[in-house]
Chains A and B, each alone.
Chain A
Amino acid sequence: MDDIIYIKNLSFDYPDKNKVLNHINLTIKAGEDVAFIGRNGAGKSTLLLNIIGILDGVGEIEIFGIKMKRGNLSEIRRRIGFVFQNPDDQLFMPTIFDDVSFGPLNFGFSKDEIEKKVKNVLKIVGLEGYDFRKPHHLSLGEKKRAAIATILVLEPEVIIFDEPTLALDPGGRKNIIRFIKSIKSTKIIATHDLEMVLELCNRVILMDDGKIVADGNTKEILADGKLMNDTGMDVPSSLSV
């Protein structure tokens, strides 16, 4: 029972767009670092939101062998963290400290524990001493790291990242990648930053138009020129020599 994610026949429709997910079947095991890649609108974010139970599609989902349903959400969310695409959505409290302690407070950690954890996690993400800064005054790179801190502090077994390097400058991007690499939890990343995928993930799931079109070893898939072209992607330059 070391499947962390098991999905069978999952389909999802938005009110104004059908078949955004089209009969998805998928198993992810503990310790696999998985990248979901595919062009914009392929359905990556939608799939991840189903995995965390924010969207509710038709089909079967089990997380750590726990059935996805209303009564189990709290338990599932305690064990899977989700870092959203836009850090401005994730940071909404008056100060960084309040934001990072938001999760632990909801999950009932004690005061001493929280203070220790927050301090510790801010150090890990390189925002030591930012406790009482206002989130909206930070740079994008800092915001992204703060957003990761709000999840990391909960010490989830799995962390899902949605487009973690989007819109970052090269320095900020390197920084985030190095940092994500150092995280011990199992990582699931939706992105079209393929160089990052090469660096962080050993398994790639390629999506297009709501379906999984390829699933396997990172290098094999990313180096497949025809496959990549057909799905609107490019072979990363470091592989296309």
Chain B
Amino acid sequence: MSDGTKILLFIIFVVSAVLIQEGNFYLYISHFLIIVISVFYLRMKFFALLNRIILGLPFILIFSASAFLSYRGFQENLLISLSILIKYSLVLLWGLIIFSDIRIYQGLKQLHVPSIFISITTLMERFIFIFKCEIQRIIRAVGIRSFQKRRFFKTTLAKSISSVMLIRGFERSQRVYNTMTVRGFDGEVRFLLGEKFGFYDIILLIIFAAVILSINLIFW
């Protein structure tokens, strides 16, 4: 399965899952069945999956509890909250399955997302990481030198650090850019594409879209 196909499978499923009417349990169940079948089909390790679901669960619970923020009657709220819980669990599960070994940039490239966008996101990701690194370095350096623990002192320190950070971050990214240019970088981030978008992918996508469409038609 190509990386582009995975992204498409994800999008189709998410759109369908999010659009389920509240309380349409047939659709919930059929979406869940799709997930179960996929797990078996892809021979995924169920417990590894479970592990990651548990990590994501708190967020989903907070999400669904937010339904109670506006009051529409207890039963109504419960229904909405429950449906949010289910929908997001479905999306999370599907995401975990689909993205377990995806190479996201390669996938975007395959889907002909403009390469300038991919370049920017890869570089952004990298830049954020560099930024984090530099901050940690400065904090460590400052931590060694200053013994004051007073809060006021810390905030003024934070301000001066952040201005140093900007300059450091800039210089660092300049150096990173240099290391790229000596390796022939000309503005385009290239990836070795994984599997090609082939006949198998098209069939898979058609079947998947058909299944999603028909369960929606049947149970709407």
Interface residues of A (CB under 8 A from B): 49, 52, 54, 74, 77-78, 81-82, 84, 86, 88-90, 92-94, 98, 101-103, 105-107, 111, 114-115, 136, 150-151, 154
User: Measured between alpha carbons, how far is A107 from B186 in the docked complex, in Å?
Assistant: 10
> Could you give, for residues 178-213 of chain B, a 1 whenever the CB lies within 8 Å of some chain A CB and a 0 otherwise?
111111111000111100000000000000000000
Q: Is the CB of B182 within 8 A of A81?
A: yes
> Please, which residues of chain B bring their CB within 8 A of the CB of A93?
122, 126
Chain A nearest CB, measured from B76 CB (Å): 45
Q: Which of A89, A103, A111, A151 contacts B172 (CB 8 A)?
A: A89
Instruction: Report yes or no: B181 in contact with A151, Cβ–Cβ below 8 A.
Output: no
Cα A92 to Cα B127 in complex, Å, equals 9
Which of B179, B186, B190, B192 has the largest number of chain A CB atoms within 10 A? B179
| B184 vs chain A, min Cβ distance (A) | 3
A49→B179 CA distance, assembly (Å): 11
Contact present for B183 and A77 (CB under 8 Å)? yes
Q: 23 pairs across A/B with beta carbons < 8 Å?
A: A49-B178, A52-B182, A54-B182, A77-B181, A77-B182, A82-B182, A84-B178, A90-B179, A92-B126, A93-B122, A94-B105, A94-B122, A94-B125, A98-B192, A102-B185, A102-B190, A103-B183, A103-B184, A105-B191, A106-B190, A111-B193, A136-B133, A151-B183
Q: Is B176 an interface residue (CB 8 A)?
A: yes
Q: Name the contact of A154 in the complex, choosing from B183, B190, B191 (C-beta under 8 A).
A: B183
B154 within 8 A of A: no
When A and B form their complex, which 5 residue pairs have the shortest distance between CB atoms, in order from nearest?
A106-B184, A103-B183, A105-B190, A90-B179, A89-B175
Q: Does residue B68 face the partner (Cβ distance < 8 Å to A)?
A: no
Bound-state Cα–Cα, A227 to B105, Å? 54
B129 within 8 A of A: yes
Contacts of B129 in A (CB 8 A): 136
Q: Is the interface of A mostly helix, strand, loop or mixed?
A: helix
Known contacts A98-B191, A106-B190, A115-B192; is-contact A89 B179 (Cβ 8 Å): yes
Task: For residue B22, give the distance in angstroms from its CB to the closest CB of chain A.
Answer: 39
**Given A105-B191, A111-B192, A92 contacting B184 (CB threshold 8 A):** no
A33 vs chain B, min Cβ distance (A): 20
Q: In the assembled complex, which residues on chain B have CB atoms less than 8 Å from the CB atom of A107?
A: 184
A78/B178 in contact, CB under 8 A: no
Q: What chain B residues lie within 8 Å of A90 (beta carbons)? A: 176, 179
**A94 / chain B contacts, CB cutoff of 8 Å:** 105, 122, 125
Which residue of A has the minimal Cβ distance to B103? A94
Q: Give chain B residues whose Cβ lies under 8 Å from the Cβ of A98.
A: 191-192
Specify which chain B residues have a CB less than 8 angstroms from the CB of A81 in the assembled complex: 182
Q: How far is the CA of A54 from the CA of B186 in the complex (A)?
A: 13
> Is the CB–CB distance between A114 and B176 below 8 Å?
no
Contact of B176 among A49, A54, A89 (CB under 8 A): A89
Residues of B within 8 A of A86 (CB): 175
A230 and B90 CA atoms in complex are apart in Å by 72
B88 to chain A, nearest CB (A): 27
Closest Cβ of chain B to A48, distance in Å, is 11
Is A78 a contact of B184 with CB atoms below 8 Å? Answer: yes
Are the C-beta atoms of B179 and A106 separated by less than 8 Å? Answer: no
**Contact partner, B184, options A77, A89, A115, Cβ 8 Å:** A77
Most chain A CB within 10 A, of B129, B130, B183, B192, is at: B183
Q: Min CB distance, A115 to chain B, in Å?
A: 7
Residues of A contacting B190 in the complex (Cβ-Cβ under 8 angstroms)? 102, 105-106
Q: Which residues of A contact B175 (CB under 8 A)?
A: 84, 86, 89
CA distance A101 to B184 in the complex (A): 12
Contact A84 B179 (CB under 8 A): yes
Select one of B133, B184, B186 contacting A88, CB under 8 A.
B133
Q: CA of A74 to CA of B182 in the docked complex: distance in angstroms?
A: 8
**CB-based nearest A residue for B185:** A106
CB distance A102 to B183 under 8 Å? yes
Q: Which residues of A contact B105 (CB under 8 A)?
A: 94
Least distance between B121 CB and chain A CB atoms (Å): 11
- For B181, give its contact among A54, A88, A92, A114 (CB under 8 Å): A54
A103 to B219, CA, bound (A): 53
> Apart from A102-B180, A102-B190, A151-B183, what are 14 other A-B pairs with CB-CB below 8 Å?
A52-B182, A54-B181, A54-B182, A77-B183, A84-B178, A89-B178, A90-B179, A94-B122, A94-B125, A98-B191, A101-B192, A103-B183, A103-B184, A105-B190
